[in-house]
Structure 1
């Protein structure tokens, strides 16, 4: 830990007699000096009339002391020292900052706190990863461990905090950011470096009630590998990414799965479950959908490719619905004896195959064209 910034803990002895004295040190420099009954200089005010610069050093009966400067009558820096002569606070009203120091039992600096009226940028660049988080702060708290290097630093602003941890060699080992954003009360980003290599980090969001509404996890290459969030309607969504790029997405409502789908490497959807009331939109790739309970909605826009729907429910109050967002011609007929096919367009056409559905089973309302 670093040593303290030290002022003389006791007033210096003077050759002047007790009392107050005015001394002219130069043609334009005058000093006012106070000597106590023990012959110690407990006060010195020096003024340079040419420069308009003034300094005051004062020792108090309780053993503390202060040192202040001013320029053209405007107060500048004011330092306060404790009984040991260690600085405990510094304030600069011209620049607009204040800094305080705390010490451990051995007299080493254990913490420094800094606040400013101007916005500063931090932190320093991560030497191993060359990653620099963007964070603007008005307060800075530095906590020291057993070495000269800080153990961790906390930057603060009206929008939140950024905590920076350091390893024994002084390299950044962890960052955790918390801030307020819109209706979200707290967001935390964390990442770590181990032996110079990036390792996974995560991102959390909390609502005003303190509940997690979003969690994201990233691999060493900053790729999203896992995501879970609360949707606007209260449903819960989770996504897990495989190393090959495929990822599974699950949406739950009241604990039951509404949608379970796999996004394949080519970007197409493979939906294995689509609950009552769920809605899914086709991609531009060849997708496969499975209706589970009926009451699902499938949305197709021009250019959706060649898609398949399994277990399509026709007619009745719990029928599934195909919504075609197109101005092109739509036709349907039997396909391979057991299935039905819907063709949208004539030349560059898209198709939907309804597995196990006889064309005569389709009812009005099963297919909507918008």
Structure 2
């Protein structure tokens, strides 16, 4: 039991520290903190088969700056019991650090209480539980109280009845995982947990297996006996003196064992706790700042795609930055927490392979780099708050844009060449019809093309921009509307039952395959009322031109109907619309 400040318990092995109890069946335990105290260090201890590794409380006392690090707790029916509220032993706690411990319960029952037991809900600044490896064979839960006071722990859970929290909650905090323990040959369970926890847990594995054997079990060296000499009897002949038998040499003393250690220093007001393994390698460093923010460095990590990590916490204990590194120091992953959470991953060459920005409203952007085997080297995808894609982009190695797709009620897709010029644009409408615009065309008689498709997927018309700036418009279905391009010559090709629109200033146009007359499938010319008011006024503007018909609305606006005679035209072949409607 510890009852006052500035005490340390280290490099100690405690086994079977329990006795029968009328109240509890068995009682006892490894270490007890009771009363007001400050600056307590409990590290590098092995405690086994007791009733709890440590219990802390008092009679409304204050316990501050308690460090419980790098210990092994084996089959103690509980690890940490903190009386932070409620009951006769309630006390106040501040800055209790529980880190890099290995906790193993092989014999606990299904109704066993939580391994880390807080009487009352956690309050900010009370306790921090991190970088521990905890194995429960059964038992109710790892923690009694939920909260953000724990992080970067590995939990081995062998029963579906075991929950993270006593309230059946299962939500992990930052850096935490549920894991399955794989037997490792003849290795003990402590060694197996240490090998598979990726830097979490205690480094006190080799030392406890070799160097903490109880003194009573160490064999004593044999003691050499003096030589025996027989005295001659007076009445008997002399007997030869026996030759002394040399005693065996003393057994050599056990070789000294290097133990893991934890050093604590205060530099410029910062409390620095450094943990080393038995070989002297730094495995963990915690820098606690005056404002209670802290930086945590972990190294010599095995079994992961990184060998070291850095985590920064603000004064409330929330993680604000997490980074992991390879052996050569190159960055593997970076995660920044805030209003938005940004996660980045990098390959060994330092190339950004993924960036995810998660917003508070659950919308997010995902960037993927280092893509091989595609015409693009990177992609960017935006999701709305319900997880639907709203934007997709593809990029070349040099960062230039290849494709952008905007998704909503309608979908717009654009592609670009290496010089940044637009090469195509597709507008997919809500009714599944679409318009495709091709541009920057080379090696053809035209430089641009507009293709229109119906909701059934069939091509309806094509409008090509020729090298000289004129247009060729072709209808492939009935009931299509083709509009003359202002100030340039258009050549139209009719399918039948088509409408041709001519606003004032349309130029000199030609229609091939015009269906004249009033019969089924005839075409219709929409003319601008500002140029011609009605069919009666139009008649004087219609004339024959060889086997064709020429309609002259002005010196610059004419329509030539190929292979159509004026007499075949009827009033139903024309419609006269207000100028504003034709430009709508």
* TM-score normalised by the chain length of structure 1: 0.65
Q: Residue 365 of structure 1: SS of its match in structure 2?
A: helix
Q: Which of these residues, 438, 441, 453, is aligned with residue 240 of structure 1?
A: 438
Determine the C-alpha separation between the residues in 2 that align with 1:267 and 1:98. Answer: 59
Aligned partner of 1:270 in structure 2 is: 472
Aligned partner of 1:296 in structure 2 is: 498
1:323 and 2:526 correspond:
yes
Determine the C-alpha separation between the residues in 2 that align with 1:181 and 1:270. Answer: 42
Q: How does 1:1-370 map to 2 (within 5 A)?
A: 17-18=7-8, 33-36=39-42, 43=67, 59-61=99-101, 62=132, 63=201, 67-69=287-289, 71=291, 76-77=293-294, 79=296, 84=301, 86-87=308-309, 89-92=311-314, 98-102=320-324, 109-117=331-339, 138-147=340-349, 149-158=350-359, 159-163=363-367, 165=369, 174-180=377-383, 185-193=389-397, 201-206=402-407, 213-241=411-439, 242-243=441-442, 246-253=447-454, 254-284=456-486, 285-292=488-495, 294-314=496-516, 315-329=518-532, 331=538, 332-345=541-554, 349-370=556-577
Deviations 1:268-292 (A, max 9, x none): 3201334211112111111111111
Listed as ranges, the gaps of 5+ residues in structure 2 are 1-5, 10-37, 46-64, 69-93, 102-131, 133-200, 203-283, 302-306, 578-584
Q: Describe the shift of the 1:232–1:323 C-alpha distance in structure 2 as closer, same or farther (beyond 3 A).
A: farther
Q: Is the 8 A contact 1:55 1:69 kept in 2?
A: no
Q: Describe the shift of the 1:155–1:360 C-alpha distance in structure 2 as closer, same or farther (beyond 3 A).
A: same
Q: Is the 8 A contact 1:162 1:175 kept in 2?
A: no
Q: Residue 369 of structure 2: SS of its match in structure 1?
A: strand
Aligned partner of 2:28 in structure 1 is: none
Determine the C-alpha separation between the residues in 2 that align with 1:157 and 1:325. Answer: 55
Shift in Å, 1:144: 2.1
Q: Describe the shift of the 1:201–1:336 C-alpha distance in structure 2 as closer, same or farther (beyond 3 A).
A: same
- Tell me which protein shows more strand as a share of its residues: 1
Listed as ranges, the gaps of 5+ residues in structure 1 are 1-15, 20-31, 45-53, 118-137, 168-172
Q: CA RMSD in A?
A: 4.2
Q: Higher Cα Rg: structure 1 or 2?
A: 2
Q: Is the 8 A contact 1:55 1:70 kept in 2?
A: no
Q: Describe the shift of the 1:185–1:60 C-alpha distance in structure 2 as closer, same or farther (beyond 3 A).
A: closer
Shift in Å, 1:157: 4.6
- Tell me which protein shows more helix as a share of its residues: 2
Aligned partner of 1:25 in structure 2 is: none
Q: Describe the shift of the 1:86–1:55 C-alpha distance in structure 2 as closer, same or farther (beyond 3 A).
A: farther
* TM-score normalised by the chain length of structure 2: 0.43
Determine the C-alpha separation between the residues in 2 that align with 1:271 and 1:152. Answer: 46
Q: Is the 8 A contact 1:151 1:166 kept in 2?
A: yes
Aligned length: 297
Deviations 1:340-367 (A, max 9, x none): 222224xx54111111111121222211
Q: Is the 8 A contact 2:470 2:490 kept in 1?
A: yes
Q: Residue 572 of structure 2: SS of its match in structure 1?
A: coil
Shift in Å, 1:67: 4.6
Determine the C-alpha separation between the residues in 2 that align with 1:266 and 1:238. Answer: 22
Q: Is the 8 A contact 2:426 2:437 kept in 1?
A: yes
Shift in Å, 1:258: 0.7
Q: Describe the shift of the 1:281–1:185 C-alpha distance in structure 2 as closer, same or farther (beyond 3 A).
A: farther
Deviations 1:92-144 (A, max 9, x none): 368x9722335679997532222321xxxxxxxxxxxxxxxxxxxx3322212
Q: Residue 312 of structure 1: SS of its match in structure 2?
A: coil
